[in-house]
């Protein structure tokens, strides 16, 4: 009782004197909670795969229609051995990456520069909305006519899937900058270009990165759809070919590689975000 | 203590003198400003005249919503008045006046810049060499009691510290005139007194002029040489007080303890004519 009262007093009068948790213990706690999350995720995956395997094990029809984890693993092994997994993943990865980079670069540059002129942005707005509402798949036949059946047409598909989203998110970030902050820059004597460079661009980074994360998936869709239309390699090609031949486990095997590619790209974007926005890390 | 029965005539007397001497930092004559709301013209500033002399600290107090911020934005060239004249150092200018520092209740620190980076902003914009900008920004942070916090991001600083960084960002540009709009309104009492005292020191020691817009009467009286009381909208000058406390004007606690302090506060409070709504 007295001990409680004393420690209560102590806390009330010497708040800053409270011992901070040592960094080693804090790190260990963080690691432990991360491990628990990872283990739970692994358990869910194992249960789902187990159920899938169990249902398809003694049922030939189900195994044909839905594949099975063991058959998928078998095809993955085969694709690793004959080298097609690396080749297809590399091809699709390259198309996706190029489309992602070109589309985001072009979209972000245009989106941010629209901040410069209210007039131009108002003129351009309906065109952007119109272009953004076109389903990219509808453009695929024309793109193949324009750019052929090689790498360039897939990169073009991927770029087109990305560019409008990148434009809209970066523009939204740029026009969302606090007016008071712009006024402050003006009272400090900043020119419009200085306001753009020192305030608008960094302030838009949060929205730009939200767009980047979103467009990883879009870039991949563009590349895969491009491969569906006409191709001789790539994960989309593998999926399309296996699907046409009713080899469903092989479709899933190529899908696993596609998912892995998407996760890898998202991870890299997240890392770059942490690197470029160090002030977001401390809280 | 000089209580002017008619504040307008008092300011007019002062500004009349100011017209002859063009070195007066800020002269405002008969400024009016309206906003258009739903096609109707709403007058915000009716007819406002005032003067800020070199080395003088002037506080403007007024009832809530009397257009204090509109006034400040008009003074720094962010808004254009409908009529009237604003002259900085005897010249009417368009756009931002030179050598004037501006600070609001919101600290407006850039979250991606450290405390030092935020303080350096104005120097960077003016093209001051990086090394020099760094040195003077460090010195300014040290003067405001932020030694050792230069590399902290704003998100890791307390409200009082952030406002100190904002003050450092304003002062590092060596402005001859400071325009402050409720800069300490969001701070707790202790922090407010400390930063008010520091502001008073940094302004008075360097002979700077300060125009402080506030709704805190005690803040206005304890800091200022002159308090201008504004009326409700459309705003005009209701009364002007020259504050004589007979003490060193950099200690806010001493100012509050001085003999005439509460008399000024009571009179200004009466002028504001605040009624419960």
Give the whole-number percent of chain A exceeding pLDDT 90: 65
> Dihedral sign, CA of A180, A185, A188, A191?
negative
Is B75 within a domain?
yes
Q: Which of A57, A82, A98 is the last residue of a domain?
A: A57
Q: Where are the beta strands (DSSP E) in B40-153?
A: 40-52, 57-61, 83-88, 91-92, 100-103
Inter-chain residue contact B108 with A189, CB threshold 8 Å: no
Q: CA B140 to CA B58: how far, in whole Å?
A: 24
Residues 59 to 88 of B: which have CB under 8 A from any A CB? 73, 76, 78
Please name the residues in contact with B175: beta carbons below 8 A apart, sequence gap of 6 or more: B99, B100, B101, B208
**What Cα–Cα distance (Å) separates residue B191 from each residue in B195, B198, B202?**
6, 11, 16
Six-digit token string for B168: 């450092």
Write out the residue range of the structural domain in which residue B67 sits. Answer: 2-99+215-272
CA separation for the pair B190, A95 (Å, rounded): 61
Q: What are phi and psi of B144, to 5 degrees?
A: -95, 20
Residues 6+ apart with CB under 8 A from A271: none
Task: Identify whether residues A16 and A133 lie together within a single domain.
Answer: no
DSSP state of B29: E
Spell out which residues of chain A touch residue B125, defining contact as CB-CB under 8 Å.
Answer: 185, 188-190, 194, 198
B78 assigned to some structural domain: yes
Query: Per-residue confidence at A63, pLDDT binned at 50, 70, 90?
Result: confident
Do B108 and A282 lie within an 8 Å CB cutoff?
Answer: no
Q: Point out the least confidently predicted range of A12-21, A107-116, B66-75, B136-145.
A: A12-21
- Which domain range does residue A12 map to? 2-57
Poorest-pLDDT segment among A103-107, A200-204, B62-66, B130-134: B62-66
Reduce the DSSP state of residue A194 to 3 states and report it. Answer: helix
Same domain, A26 and A158: no
**In B, which residues are within 8 Å of A184 by CB distance?**
102, 104, 108
Residue A282: closest CA among B4, B112, B117: B112
The residue of A182, A189, A207 whose CB has the most chain B CBs within 10 angstroms, and thus the best one to mutate to test that interface, is: A189
DSSP output for A231-261: -SSSHHHHHHHHHHTT-HHHHHHHHHHHHHH
Supply the DSSP string of A78-136, one letter for each residue. HHHHTSHHHHHHHHHHHHHHHHHHHHHHHHHHHHHHGGG-HHHHHHHHHHHHHHHTS-H
CB-CB contact of B240 with B229 (8 Å): yes
Per-residue confidence of chain B (277 residues) as pLDDT tens digits?
444 444 344 444 444 444 444 478 888 888 888 888 888 888 888 888 888 888 889 999 888 777 887 888 888 888 888 888 888 888 887 777 878 888 888 889 999 999 999 999 999 999 999 999 999 999 999 988 888 899 999 999 988 899 999 999 999 988 888 999 888 888 888 888 888 888 888 888 888 899 999 888 888 888 888 999 888 888 888 888 888 887 777 788 888 888 888 888 888 888 887 665 5
Q: Inform me whether the pLDDT recorded for A81 exceeds 80.
A: yes
Does the pLDDT of residue A208 top 90, yes or no? yes
If you search the block for the tokens 């059946």, which residue do you land on? A149
Q: CB of B102 within 8 Å of any CB in chain A?
A: yes
pLDDT band for position A282 (cuts 50, 70, 90): low
Number of domains making up chain A = 2
**Does a structural domain hold residue B219?**
yes
Taking residues A199-208, report their average pLDDT: 94
H or E stretch covering B24: none
Cα–Cα distance, B240 to B254 (Å, whole number)? 23
- Are A52 and A114 part of one and the same domain? no
Contact A167, A128 (CB under 8 A): yes
Decide if B110 is inside a domain.
no
A17: confidence class by pLDDT, cuts 50, 70, 90: low
- From CA B19, how far away is CA A132, in angstroms rounded? 60
- Decide if B236 is inside a domain: yes
The encoded tokens of residue A108 equal 């972000």
Lowest mean pLDDT among A29-38, A164-173, B213-222: B213-222
Q: Indicate if A167 and A268 belong to the same structural domain.
A: yes
Look over chain A and give the mean of its residue pLDDT values, rounded to a whole number.
88
- What is residue B218's three-state secondary structure? helix
Intra-chain end-to-end CA distance of chain B, in Å: 32
Pick the closest to residue B233 from B6, B30, B48 (CA basis): B48
Chain B residue with the nearest C-alpha to that of A200: B110
Does residue A182 sit in the same domain as residue A246? yes
Q: Which of A38, A57, A76 is the last residue of a domain?
A: A57
How much is the pLDDT for A254?
93
| Angle between helical axes of A201-229 and A84-113 (0-180°, round to 10) | 140
Let me know whether A28 and A135 are in one domain: no
Alpha-carbon distance of A250 to A68, in angstroms, equals 10
Name the nearest CA neighbour of A144 among A126, A132, A134, A156.
A156
pLDDT at site A16: 52
- Residue A166 reports pLDDT greater than 90: yes
- The DSSP H or E segment spanning B237 is strand B235-242
In the predicted model, is pLDDT for residue A12 greater than 60? no
- Which letter does DSSP use for residue B196 in this model? H
CB contact under 8 A, A189 and B126: yes
A140 inside domain: yes
| Nearest residue to B137 via CA among B169, B182, B164, B166 | B169
| Residue B229 counted as domain residue | yes
- Number of structural domains, chain B? 1
Whether residue A202 has pLDDT greater than 50: yes
Domain with residue B23: its CATH number is: 3.40.50.300
**From CA B131, how far away is CA B152, in angstroms rounded?**
19
Instruction: Name residues whose C-beta falls within 8 Å of residue B75's C-beta, 6 or more positions apart in sequence.
Output: B26, B28, B86, B97, B179, B211
Determine, yes or no, domain membership for A273. Answer: yes
**Are residue A53 and residue A75 in the same domain, yes or no?**
no
Q: What does the block give as tokens for A86?
A: 């690396």
DSSP state of A198: I
User: Does the residue B189 lie in any domain?
Assistant: no
Cβ–Cβ gap A282/B156 under 8 Å? yes
3-class secondary-structure state, position A268 = helix
- Residue B50: partners with Cβ closer than 8 Å, 6 or more residues away: B11, B15, B26, B28, B58, B60, B228, B237
B216: its two tokens: 């805190």
Q: How far is B265 from chain A (nearest CA, A)?
A: 31
d(C-alpha A92, C-alpha A63), whole Å: 28
**Which of A57, A77, A98 is the last residue in one of the domains?**
A57
A198 or B8: whose pLDDT is higher? A198
CA triple B66-B71-B72, angle to 5 deg: 125
Q: A37 or A63: which carries more pLDDT confidence?
A: A37
User: Which residues of A have a CB under 8 Å from any CB of B?
Assistant: 178, 180-181, 183-190, 194, 198-199, 202-203, 205, 277-279, 282-283
pLDDT score recorded for residue B83: 87
Strand-strand pairing, B83-88 and B91-92: antiparallel
Of A194, A205, A282, the CB nearest to B153: A282
């Amino acid at each position: 009782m007295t001990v409680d009262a004393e420690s209560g007093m102590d806390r009330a009068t010497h708040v800053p004197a409270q011992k901070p948790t040592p960094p080693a213990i804090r790190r260990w706690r963080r690691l432990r909670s991360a491990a628990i999350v990872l283990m739970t995720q692994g358990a869910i995956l194992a249960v789902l795969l187990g159920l899938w395997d169990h249902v398809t094990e003694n049922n030939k029809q189900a195994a044909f229609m839905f594949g099975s984890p063991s058959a998928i693993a078998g095809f993955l092994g085969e694709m690793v051995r004959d080298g097609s997994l690396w080749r297809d993943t590399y091809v699709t990865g390259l198309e996706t990456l190029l489309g992602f980079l070109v589309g985001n670069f072009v979209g972000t540059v245009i989106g941010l520069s629209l901040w410069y002129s209210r007039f131009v942005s108002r003129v351009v707005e309906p065109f952007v909305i119109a272009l953004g509402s076109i389903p990219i798949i509808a453009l695929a036949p024309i793109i193949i006519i324009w750019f052929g059946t090689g790498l360039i047409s897939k990169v073009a598909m991927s770029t087109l899937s990305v560019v409008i989203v990148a434009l809209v998110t970066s523009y939204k970030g740029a026009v969302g900058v606090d007016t008071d902050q712009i006024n402050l820059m003006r009272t400090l004597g900043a020119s419009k270009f200085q306001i753009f460079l020192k305030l608008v661009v960094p302030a838009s980074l949060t929205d730009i990165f939200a767009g980047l994360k979103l467009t990883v998936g879009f870039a991949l869709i563009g590349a895969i759809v491009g491969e569906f239309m006409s191709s001789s390699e790539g994960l989309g090609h593998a999926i399309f070919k296996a699907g046409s031949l009713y080899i469903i486990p092989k479709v899933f095997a190529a899908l696993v590689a596609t998912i892995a590619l998407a996760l890898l790209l998202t991870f890299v974007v997240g890392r770059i975000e942490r690197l470029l926005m160090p002030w977001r890390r401390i809280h | 203590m000089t209580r002017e029965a008619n504040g307008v005539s008092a300011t007019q007397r002062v500004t009349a003198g100011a017209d002859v001497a063009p070195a007066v930092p800020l002269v405002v004559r008969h400024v009016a400003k309206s906003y258009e709301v739903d096609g109707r013209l709403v007058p915000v500033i009716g007819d406002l005249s005032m003067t800020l002399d070199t080395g003088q600290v002037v506080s403007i107090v007024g009832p809530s919503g009397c257009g204090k911020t509109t006034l400040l934005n008009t003074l720094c060239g962010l808004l254009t008045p409908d009529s009237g004249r604003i002259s900085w150092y005897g010249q009417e200018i368009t756009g931002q006046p030179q050598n004037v520092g501006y600070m609001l209740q919101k600290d407006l620190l850039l979250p991606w810049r450290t405390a030092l980076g935020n303080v350096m902003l104005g120097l960077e914009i003016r093209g001051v060499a990086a090394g020099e900008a760094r040195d003077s920004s460090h010195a300014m942070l040290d003067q405001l009691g932020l030694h050792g916090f230069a590399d902290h991001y704003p998100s890791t600083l307390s409200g009082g510290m952030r406002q100190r960084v904002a003050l450092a960002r304003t002062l590092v540009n060596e402005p001859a005139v400071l325009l402050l709009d409720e800069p300490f309104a969001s701070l707790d009492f202790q922090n407010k007194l400390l930063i008010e005292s520091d502001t008073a020191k940094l302004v008075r020691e360097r002979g700077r002029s300060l125009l402080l817009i506030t709704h805190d009467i005690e803040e206005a009286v304890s800091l200022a040489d002159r308090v201008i009381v504004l009326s409700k909208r459309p705003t005009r000058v209701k009364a002007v007080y020259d504050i004589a406390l007979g003490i060193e004007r950099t200690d806010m606690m001493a100012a509050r303890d001085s003999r005439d302090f509460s008399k000024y506060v009571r009179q200004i409070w009466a002028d504001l004519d605040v009624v419960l709504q």
